[in-house]
A and B are shown apart, each in its own frame.
Chain A
Amino acid sequence: MGRDDSAEIARQHVIDPEICIRCNTCEETCPIKAVTHDSRNYVVDFNICRGCGDCIAPCPTGAIDNWRQVVKAKAYTLEEQFSWDSLPPQEELAGAADAALPDDVERLTQEARAGQGGTAPAPWSAETPRVNLYSLQKPAIATVTANFKLTDEGSSSDIRHIILDFGNTAFPVLEGQSIGVIPPGTDANGKPHHIRLYSVASPRDGEKPNHNNLSLTVKRVTENHNGQSIKGPASNYLCDLKKGDQVKIVGPYGSSFLMPNHPGSSLLMICTGTGSAPMRAMTEYRRRHMAQKEGGALMLFFGARRPGELPYFGPLTKLPKDFIDVNFAFSREPGKPKTYVQDMIRARAADVARFLKDDNCYIYICGLKGMEDGVKVAFREVCDGHGMNWDALQPELLAKGRFHVETY
């Protein structure tokens, strides 16, 4: 059966004429001359632009960072763009994304990325993600097919593995993407709850391959960052779900924290707690494709208080050593000194340095905000000890889509 290309949805790069100051920086920067201008506007030629993002960082105004979902055959022409006084609203496209991400998602994403030190494109070989297919107005309905505890009985932390089945609803995700959950009901002020984002813990073909399902790693939130007792509405809602319950899901979200797909590309993954979800998804994808030998090396630094609180501890220890180099750090193991992920990074400095230097290595950090600084200090020391300069390297990593941070 032939595919109907005329209905294919594409992402079109556009420039906001109300914010643009016509400084010519984007046109100067574009490596393939996709940006052009007339006496009114600077515009991007849909037929040339490949979305490499080179023009994004140098733009002094932010006008450059605008995108529209369009039907490919009806992308905005140069003439249409030249005539704009302001950006057209996102048109309603059947089956495609809504105009803008929900405010909550924008805010949460910004907060999660804050430690990244700037924007990073997705790895060049990443699969094109589908984003924002289901909105608050039109959420997807998923059915819970499993919900079990990953942490030891008796452990103070309750981390769960939840599998959601989407039935006949298409919900395509890539490793590293998130979905949004809106707990039912209202908060103490009578307002609807905010969206909470959860990284998908299963690879693109699903927890159970090709059954249109995905898994989440959810920790029951019982206290806030300051240790005060609170009941996280979304996490408690999810953790209490029973098999057969239906859940409203929005998303998927995320278009940069994605894994590379080219042969020989390796992954350096650093996570704590439920920050392991995207790492599990990526690792699992690679594990399922081990036979094809398409990936490079995998190195994982994984921190938790105790082994019993580390989600997926058992399966991880069973993976072949030549497939993934796993380094655990436990900060509350009785009778042992406190060890954090950054300590393990230092202990493995020579190997980490090799990864940092390797243009085919992509780095992912996910977990609690508190880990971020320690990891960066450790990277700096690794660099100092191996003839590199972290301050110079980090932006390079960012620019090449090799450095991705999501912390909360």
Chain B
Amino acid sequence: MSINYSEKIPNNVDLASDKTLQRALEHWQPGFLDWWKDMGPEGSLNYDVYLRTAVSVEPGGWAHFGYVKMPDYRWGIFLNAAEQDRTIHFGDHKGQPAWQDVPGEHRSNLRRIIVTQGDTEPASVEQQRHLGLTAPSLYDLRNLFQVNVEEGRHLWAMVYLLHRYFGRDGREEAEALLARRSGDRDNPRILGAFNEKTPDWLSFFMFTYFTDRDGKFQLSALAESGFDPLARTTKFMLTEEAHHMFVGESGIARILQRTCEVMAQHKTDDPAKVRSFGVIDLPTIQRYLNFHYSVTIDLFGADVSSNAATFYSSGLKGRYEETKQSDDHILKGAMYPVLEVVDGKLVEREAPMLNALNEKLRDDFIRDSVAGVGRWNKVMQKNGINFQLSVPHKAFNRQIGPLAGIKVAPDGRVVSQAEWDANAKKWLPTPEDRAYVASLMGRVVEPGKFANWIAAPVMGINKQPVNFEYVRFN
């Protein structure tokens, strides 16, 4: 199933045989390019960037690397190969053939799921659009741009579904995806975390580690969908998403490495002293982690949600690794623990699992995140630095669901407003922290050179050397 690159919109969905759809998408395309020019990476239109372009959905189709000007990137529509005779494997329709078209009764829910997912894609590009001006190296700049163009492609993936399956409503939603703006007071992006700023590279790496991982779990749940085109689209997106998490995980690991080197060299763990050497002290990294982690786990939605139950029972959105779960995949009568506050303490109570599926997905995300934090801690161990990062309690700093507004310390104790106020500066990044990190952000564009606050990666992209000219500025 190779991708037809001779067409205006590269695709493997035989777009040419559906003239109406092709025209509709070709009509949307200039709007997308205008959006990219307005809201894509700042000042980058003429750069030649060493990018990976997916040219087929088979394994070999991933290895296509070359210099591309980002506005010429071949954004297109790629679905994973169809699985023959696929059936819905969870919910009330379990065992029935997967839908190749939108079932009327689930139309508005499906549209909502797709729009919500689609909205995050351009949002993150908008959030990251100034970062290129302070890239710590050409290698990192290239990785940022790769993330950005792939988010753009993910938008295409969702817009295709809207145009192809939702008629006029879908076309209007597709237009609206280009109209909303991250952080805009009047027309913001749909989800909170996507209206936050990504002002510096520490934030960017935390974002790609945590928030793109939310993307991984949402896409994994959608890849189980009974609506086959959505499942096939999201499966393909997952392969791209992995790169984003790599950028985050390795980015933070390299910052930790550099900080540890400086700490060992100068035999100090005093944050002020560490800062005086121009690297980011470990407590500040912990505070950034606390912030991004808590903002991201809010994205999974309310702990108990009737929507979550509906999405599952109607076969629209499964669980993470649905097929690997050993229950009946219908979940009627099953229970799942959620948190609530009783007598000033967080306690678990059992809720119907169907309603608690947001919480279930959040817990899966947490397990995955914690494992990576453990890998970061190895950097400190290796360097002989006695400091361990950890994720805060999942009730910490929550803005959504029954835990919203409850003051919980990172260790999970419910605290008073006074205690919170007294300690918030130890738990979340302060304006001073942000100003300090911002002060380190300067552009480094000489091939092979890296900003002082971050270590070089262990290897380059596509086996190129680390000092390869990953971006040419022309």
Contacts and interface: CB of A to CB of B under 8 A. Distances in A.
Interface of A: 18-19, 21-25, 28-29, 39-40, 54-58, 60-62, 65, 85, 110, 117-119, 389, 391-392, 394-396, 398-400
A287 to B, nearest CB: 32
B286 interface: no
22 contacts: A19-B250, A21-B250, A22-B372, A23-B241, A25-B239, A25-B242, A28-B238, A28-B239, A55-B59, A57-B59, A60-B246, A61-B246, A110-B463, A110-B465, A118-B65, A395-B61, A396-B56, A396-B60, A398-B63, A399-B56, A399-B58, A399-B61
A117 B378 contact: no
Nearest to B374: A40
A392 B4 contact: yes
Interface of B: 2-6, 55-56, 58-66, 216, 238-239, 241-243, 245-246, 249-250, 368, 371-372, 375, 378, 458-459, 462-465
B5 A389 contact: yes
Contacts of B238: 25, 28
Contacts of A18: 375, 378, 458
From A22, A29, A62, A395, residue with most partner B Cβ within 10 Å: A395
Contacts, number: 100
Nearest to A17: B375
Nearest to A113: B463
A87 to B, nearest CB: 12
A340 to B, nearest CB: 23
Contacts of A19: 250, 458-459
Contacts of A62: 459, 463
B205 to A, nearest CB: 13
B5 A399 contact: no
A78 B364 CA distance: 24
A39 B368 CA distance: 9
Contacts of B464: 110
A110 B466 CA distance: 13
B74 to A, nearest CB: 8
Given A389-B4, A392-B2, A395-B56, A58 B62 contact: yes
Given A21-B249, A23-B246, A57 B60 contact: yes
Contacts of A25: 238-239, 242
A398 B62 CA distance: 10
Nearest to A53: B59
A400 B58 CA distance: 11
A61 B243 CA distance: 7
A399 B64 CA distance: 10
A399 B63 contact: yes
A313 to B, nearest CB: 36
Nearest to A387: B6
A105 to B, nearest CB: 14
Given A58-B239, A110-B463, A23 B245 contact: yes
A65 to B, nearest CB: 8
B354 to A, nearest CB: 26
Given A118-B462, A119-B463, A391-B55, A21 B245 contact: yes
Nearest to B59: A54
A345 B463 CA distance: 30
Nearest to A24: B242
A39 B5 CA distance: 40
A394 B55 CA distance: 10
A23 B242 contact: yes
A57 B6 contact: no
Nearest to B367: A39
Contacts of A118: 63-65, 462
Contacts of B66: 117
A393 to B, nearest CB: 8
Contacts of A24: 242
A58 B80 CA distance: 14
Lowest 5 CB-CB distances: which A-B pairs, in order?
A: A399-B60, A57-B63, A23-B242, A118-B63, A54-B59
B242 A21 contact: yes
A375 B462 CA distance: 23
A61 B247 CA distance: 9
Contacts of A398: 60, 63-64
B64 A21 contact: no
B63 A39 contact: no
A396 B371 contact: no
B52 to A, nearest CB: 9
A119 B63 CA distance: 7
Given A58-B239, A392-B55, 13 more contacts: A18-B375, A23-B242, A39-B371, A57-B63, A58-B242, A60-B242, A110-B465, A118-B63, A118-B462, A392-B2, A396-B55, A398-B63, A399-B58
Contact of B64 (A40, A61, A85, A395): A395
Contacts of B55: 391-392, 395-396
B221 to A, nearest CB: 14
A22 B373 CA distance: 12
